[in-house]
A and B are shown apart, each in its own frame.
Chain A
Amino acid sequence: MKTRPLFVILLLAISLVVARADQFRFPLVSGSARFAVIGDTGTGEAPQYELAREMVTARGIFPFDFVLMLGDNIYGASRPKDYEQKFELPYKPLLDAGVKFYASLGNHDNPNERMYKLFNMNGANYYTFKKGNARFFALDSDYMDAKQLAWLENELKSAGDQDWKICYFHHPLYSSGRMHGSAIELRSLLEPLFVKYGVNVVFAGHDHVYERVRPQKGIYYFTEGSSGQLRAGGLKHTELTEKGFDSDRAFMLVEIAGDQLHFETLSRGGQQVDSGTLPRLSVATK
């Protein structure tokens, strides 16, 4: 009977899809902001490609429109073939499907990456854009000078209080990573602005682990620096840590719908390592 093996394969495939669908608990609200978050990706090595494939699989169930890149997008040299091997090829299925990548720069990135159209930086080291009811601010934490701080304050102020405010950059303000840890000096400059102007969520990389930090002064902090690189066992699990994962690569999926942020963090193998729904904390609550 030739149909029997085919039937078994079909059954397995269906059960896999059903299992995955059960894993994803996103509301998929019309007009919501749906995106993935990756950090410290650009190695060009097998784990980066494997994680990218998992992102493609995940998008079959959770159709995200864009990806935030938390820096170290291209490690090592930045020759044309590096752009290809460390970005274009691993994410080709996503790029072909029209998914947009919005990059921030890390300490391993050539600043001229800002001229690369597929990173959507429009020639700037720091920039802002809006999706759904969320306003995003990509910052250059390698070089936080007076000009950038003034720009950020002006943009945060003019963004008002209606939208979610999400900042992302390379160096984490709060981190339990063994290698780098919290960027305290940067925090002393940025946190007062974040609190004053009602930033809701901050994503960063640099430490090659995943960590969800306990809310600090009404702000949610995530470190996702393990989407290409990994420092196995690199997380200390301190009093900051709400949830951590440091045994494999990971990426995040996020949907912002109304006053709720739904997220799920998946490993390279597709295992869920963290998930939840976070309410938007109003400026008054803070």
Chain B
Amino acid sequence: MPRSSPALASNSAFIMHVHKYISSFAIALLAVPLACTLPSRIAAQQAAQAKPNPDSSPAFKPFLDRVRAYSNVHKAAASGLPGGKPTDLPEVITARQLALARKIREARPDAKRGDIFSEDSAEAFRNVIASQFAGPEGQKARTTIRQGSPLPDLHLKVNETYPAGTPFTTVPPALLLKLPKLPDSLSYCIVGPDFVLLDVEANLVVDFIPDVIPKSLEAQ
């Protein structure tokens, strides 16, 4: 077996030393720009992971504008009506609810589907709802609806009263967190396959998006 000469060994050591130096230099060259861009990359990731605020989303702006306009109608209708404060007389509560519904109907006699969930924002609602039921959290949302009295055969109309004695289907809380906040007098509601905007004080359907909830959710 040939043995390597001392000169050859010395050359090899030199080449390895140079190689190591070049490698370190290359790593350093790569690392500098990486280090410079790292904070902005982390920030971008954090921004992507941060919960979007639906109240400031441009997609929901037309909807929120219309909700504000409806709230003004509600306030005008409610002003001058008796009640509105806690009372031990149920007849006062019931009478106010009925009178409020009547006055709101009178104020918007031609109200129709899409007046509040206008086409430009209805699409945003459809996307959020679809992703909520389809994504990894989808099973949880479907379970929430099944546990909370689904109403598969019920279809409501605008300006119609929510039917007396009909239970409310639980709106999946994770879905609520992704939707714009509403004034206290309004709430989102799930009725069969439809997504409904309900005036809870007047017990009145304000608007709805049809056929947006998966139909596979059957009543128990």
CA distance A121 to B87 in the complex (A): 11
- Alpha-carbon distance between A118 and B86 when the two chains are bound, in angstroms: 9
Task: State A76–B173 Cα separation when bound (angstroms).
Answer: 25
Which 10 pairs show the lowest CB-CB distances between chains A and B?
Answer: A83-B90, A144-B173, A117-B88, A76-B165, A80-B90, A77-B164, A185-B140, A80-B91, A145-B176, A111-B200
Task: Decide if A116 touches B143 in the complex (CB within 8 Å).
Answer: no
Asked whether A112 lies within 8 Å of B97 as measured between CB atoms, the reply is yes
Please tell me if the beta carbons of B140 and A108 are within 8 angstroms of each other in the complex.
Answer: no
Residue B24, interface by CB 8 Å: no
With A143-B187, A185-B144 given, name 19 new contacts (CB 8 A).
A76-B165, A78-B164, A79-B94, A79-B164, A80-B94, A108-B168, A112-B203, A115-B84, A115-B93, A122-B86, A123-B85, A142-B168, A143-B176, A144-B176, A183-B147, A184-B143, A184-B144, A186-B144, A188-B174
A185–B141 CB distance below 8 A: yes
Kindly supply a per-residue 1/0 record for chain B positions 79-114, scoring 1 wherever the CB is within 8 Å of any chain A CB and 0 otherwise. 000011111111101100100000000000000000
Given known contacts A80-B94, A107-B149, is B170 in contact with A184 (CB within 8 Å)? Answer: no
Across the two chains, which residue of chain B brings its CB closest to A105?
Answer: B168
Q: Are the C-beta atoms of B87 and A186 separated by less than 8 Å?
A: no
Question: In chain B, residues 189-211, which have Cβ atoms closer than 8 Å to a Cβ of chain A?
Answer: 200-201, 203
Expressed in whole angstroms, the minimum distance between the Cβ of A198 and any Cβ of chain B is 22
* From A145, A146, A180, A188, contact of B140 by CB (8 A): A188
| Complex contacts, B86 vs chain A, CB 8 Å | 114-117, 121-123
- A146-B181 CB under 8 A given contacts A107-B170, A115-B83: yes
In angstroms, how far is the closest chain B Cβ from the Cβ of A135? 22
CA distance A76 to B167 in the complex (A): 8
Complex: chain A residue closest to B162, CB-CB: A110
In the complex, whether B37 has a CB less than 8 A from a CB of chain A is no
| Interface residues in B127-146 (C-beta closer than 8 Å to A) | 137, 140-141, 143-144
Number of interface residues of B (CB under 8 A): 38
With A and B bound together, what is the CA distance between A84 and B149 in angstroms? 25
Residue pair B177, A145 in contact (C-beta under 8 Å): yes
B152 within 8 A of A: no
A123–B91 Cα distance when bound, in Å, is 16
Q: 20 interchain pairs (CB within 8 A)?
A: A75-B165, A77-B165, A79-B90, A80-B91, A83-B90, A84-B90, A108-B149, A111-B200, A112-B200, A113-B93, A118-B88, A122-B86, A141-B170, A143-B187, A145-B177, A179-B220, A185-B140, A185-B141, A185-B144, A186-B173
Is A34 at the interface (CB under 8 A from chain B)?
A: no
Contact B170 A171 (CB under 8 A): yes
Rounded to whole angstroms, the CA-CA distance of A179 and B167 in the bound complex is 15
Interchain CB contact (< 8 A) of A146 among B89, B97, B176? B176
Determine whether the beta carbon of B168 is less than 8 Å from that of A107: yes
Q: Which of A215-259 contact B (CB under 8 A)?
A: none
> Are B148's CB and A142's CB within 8 A?
yes
B-facing residues in A147-163 (Cβ within 8 Å): 147, 149
Minimum distance in angstroms from A147 CB to a CB of chain B: 6
- Please tell me if the beta carbons of B147 and A116 are within 8 angstroms of each other in the complex: no
B157-193 contacts to A, CB under 8 A, are 164-165, 167-174, 176-177, 181, 187
- Can you name the residue of chain A whose Cβ is closest to the Cβ of B92? A115
How many Å from the CB of B162 to the closest CB on chain A? 9
Give bound CA distance, A277 to B167, whole Å. 36
Q: What chain B residues lie within 8 Å of A143 (beta carbons)?
A: 171, 176, 187
Interface residues of A in 177-193 (CB under 8 A from B): 179-181, 183-186, 188-189
Chain B neighbourhood of A149, CB < 8 A: 177
A92 vs B92: C-alpha distance when bound (angstroms) = 20
Residues of B within 8 A of A78 (CB): 90, 94, 164
**Chain A positions within 8 Å of B89 at CB level:** 80
Q: How far is the CA of A147 from the CA of B174 in the complex (A)?
A: 13
Please tell me if the beta carbons of A116 and B94 are within 8 angstroms of each other in the complex. no
The CA of A98 and the CA of B50, in the complex, are separated in Å by 50
Question: Are B87 and A115 in contact, CB atoms less than 8 angstroms apart?
Answer: yes
> Within 8 Å CB of A84, what residues of B?
90
Cβ of A144 to closest chain B Cβ, rounded Å: 4
Between B140, B170, B174, B176, the greatest number of chain A beta carbons within 10 A of the residue's beta carbon is seen for: B170
What is the CA–CA distance of A247 and B220 in the complex, to the nearest angstrom?
21
Residues of B contacting A114 with CB < 8 Å?
86
A189 in contact with B88 (CB, 8 Å): no
